Structure 1
C-alpha cells in the first residue's frame, strides 16, 4: 500500500514509498526507491551523491509510525531514545527495504529494532525506544 495513504506527512517528506507488510502491531516492512532526482541528493555530495544517513533513520521512524497508526496509538507515543549505526552508503538507483520489529518492553514503553537493506547489504541498523506521552511528560517535569 502507498505510504501517503497511511502517513500524516506531506511530500517531499514522506521517506518511504510503499508499505509491503504490516503485522499486528509488531512488525512492518517498507520500501524506498532512491532517485537521482530527489532534491536532498543535490549537493550531497556533488561529485558522488549519497543518500543522507539521517533520512535513512527517518525512513525507519516512518515505518515504525505505520505500526503505531495501524493500531491507532500513534498520538500516545513519544520517542525517548535512539541509537543507530550507518554501515554502507546508499546511492541513487538503490532500493532500500526497511524492516522494523517491536520488542517486548511493557505497557508504558515500546522499543523497535530497525534495519535498512539494499539487496544483501545492511545499510543501517537502529534501536528506537518510545514512552507513553504521559510518562514522557512526567520524566521531563522531573528534569
Structure 2
C-alpha cells in the first residue's frame, strides 16, 4: 500500500508567506520528498484579474500561472527539507525566492472554472540553487511549462 502525502490550505500557509489574493496553490494532492509534488489551483471567476485580463474572455495571465508553478516549487523544496533527518518546520520558516524561469512555454489558455494541476519535479540542488521542472495542466492537457530556479534564505 502506498502512502499519499498531502497538504491542506493551512499546511501550505505554514510553508509559504503568500496570502490572498497572491496565494496561488489551493492544495497539495501528493508529494515524494526530493522527487515530485502534485498541487492544485482552482481558478475562480472571482479572482482579481478576471475583469481586466481580458474583458469578455478571461484568461489567467501567464505570469500568474508561472507564479503558481513557482509557489508549488517552493512547497516542493520545503517538504524535501522537512524530510531530512533531524529537520522540522521551525517557527520562522526560511523563504524560497524565485531566481530564474527558463524556457517558459504557454500551450493553452487557463480560464475561470478550470482546475490547474501543478506537477513539479526536482532536478537537483547546485550551490544553493534548487532546479525544478514545472508543468501546469488542465484536464490532462499541458497549459504551461518552465524550468524554475529558487534559492533559500533563512529568516
Indicate the TM-score class for this superposition, using the shorter chain for normalisation: 0.7 to 0.9
| Partner residue, 2:29 | 20
| Partner residue, 2:86 | none
Task: State whether structure 2 residue 86 is matched by structure 1 residue 80.
Answer: no
Contact 2:70 2:98 in 1 (8 A): no
| Partner residue, 1:91 | 111
Give the C-alpha shift of residue 16 in structure 1: 1.1
Contact 2:9 2:26 in 1 (8 A): yes
Query: Helix, strand or coil for the counterpart of 1:40?
Result: coil
| Partner residue, 2:50 | 41
Instruction: State which of 7, 11, 16 in structure 2 corresponds to 1:5.
Output: 11
**Poorly superposed stretches of 4+, deviation over 4 Å:** none
In 2, Cα distance between equivalents of 1:29 and 1:47: 31
Higher helix share: 1
| Partner residue, 1:116 | 136
Structure 2 regions of 5+ residues with no counterpart? 1-6, 83-88
TM-score (norm 1): 0.81
Residue 65 to residue 3, structure 1, CA distance change in 2 (3 Å): farther
Residue 9 to residue 76, structure 1, CA distance change in 2 (3 Å): closer
CA shift digits 1:54-107 (9 cap, x unpaired): 111011111011122222597375433212111110111111000000013435
Task: State whether structure 2 residue 123 is matched by structure 1 residue 103.
Answer: yes
- Of 80-89 and 91-100, the range deviating more from structure 2: 80-89
TM-score (norm 2): 0.76
Structure 1 regions of 5+ residues with no counterpart? 134-143
Number of aligned residue pairs: give it.
134
RMSD: 2.2
